[in-house]
Amino acid sequence: MKTCIREVRHARGLTLQDVAERCAPPTTAQTIGRLETGTRTVSIAWLNRIAGALGVEAAELVRAPEQPMPDIVALLSPEGATPPRSAQIAALPRPAHDGLTMLVDASVGDYRHGDIVWLERLEPKAFGAALNRDVLVPRPGERFLFGRLIGREGNRLQLLPPGQGSRQQVVADAPWIAVTTQLLRALG
């Protein structure tokens, strides 16, 4: 089985040691290097461990001929766009393993039609970490409320939905919330 572990690791800016330490349970940098180069056979168990350490799905580490990862043709910095010194591929962004995805169906506030928003689910004890960030909150009847978390008092959350003229909404006893972590927007 051909893998692209090395390419994904490089795209994430991690060393062999970083990945080895992030594996559960931790392993050695030498083992990760052998798995990357094919010197050691990559089992499904190893693929899952490394995927967890890299924060991707295991399927993203398997190289499928019909789905090549895109090459990086330029690096942008304050000095301008320059070609990379060595071949690099783009690790396509994916939501976290427990992540949620929201599609923007109609433009509202800073969000545009076609945007894809990735969110990370938080349990009640971690709600404070989402203060002043956009969150998705479940409501009864399989509905949701989306907006900026502007306040929290006990079990009550105060949200300001996106868009001009929106009024503050209050939600009590939310079982969980999901905080926005990444926005994917097509240009053009």
CATH number, domain at 141?
2.30.30
Q: What is the pLDDT of residue 27?
A: 94
Residues 77 and 121 in one domain: no
Cα–Cα distance for residue pair 27/18, rounded to 1 Å:
10
Going by the DSSP 8-state scheme, the letter that residue 163 receives in this structure is S
Taking the whole predicted model, whether its pTM rises above 0.85 is answered as no
Tell me: do 65 and 105 sit in the same domain. Answer: no
Which residues on neighbouring strands pair with residue 81, listed in sequence order? 76
In which residue ranges of the chain is pLDDT below 70? 1, 63-71, 88-98, 188
Q: What is the pLDDT of residues 46-82, one digit of tens each?
A: 989 999 999 888 888 886 555 555 567 777 778 888 8
Q: Determine contact, residues 182/120, Cβ cutoff 8 Å.
A: no
Return the pLDDT at 68.
53
Question: What residue type is 67 in one-letter code?
Answer: Q
Instruction: Let me know if residue 166 belongs to a domain.
Output: yes
pLDDT of residue 32: 93
**What residues make up the domain containing 121?**
100-184
The predicted pLDDT at position 71 comes to 67
